[in-house]
Amino acid sequence: MSTSMRKKLRIPLYEFDMVVMYDTWERNNKLIVGEDNTPLNKSTQARIFQLKNGSVAVAFNSDVPSNTTLTDTILHESIHLGTCTLNHAGIPISYENDETLAYLVCWFNRKLNKMLKKYIKNQS
């Protein structure tokens, strides 16, 4: 069974690219070329990386069983992706504008859940 997935996702309104990766940490580590290239811990389910070209990569570990914790992990990473996107756009996060972050988190959560669950289902 192949466990590799790499998809580019354009974030609307912000002209910001994201790469979604679902693979073993060993293979993900070979592809991550960003400023923070600390090797991934095998027990970590996911991690966000800022790449040198300005895009963001969210890497999910296919070695961790895809059970109900994947939904929680996607939501957790969606918050990081939302703050990263707003930071890229130069929009500070505060109580007065946290609605923008809330919409972004929902958007990321929906996109990633749909993408990963479809991929995992097609692999089984």
Please name the residue that has the structure tokens 């590799």: 4
Which residue range is the domain that position 58 belongs to?
A: 5-123
For the entire predicted model, the pTM comes to 0.85
Q: How many domains does the chain have?
A: 1
Buried b (16+ CB within 10 A) or exposed e, 35-65: eeeeebeeeebbbbbebeeebbbbbbbbebe
Span 69-112, pLDDT tens digits = 788 999 999 999 999 899 889 999 999 889 999 999 999 999 99
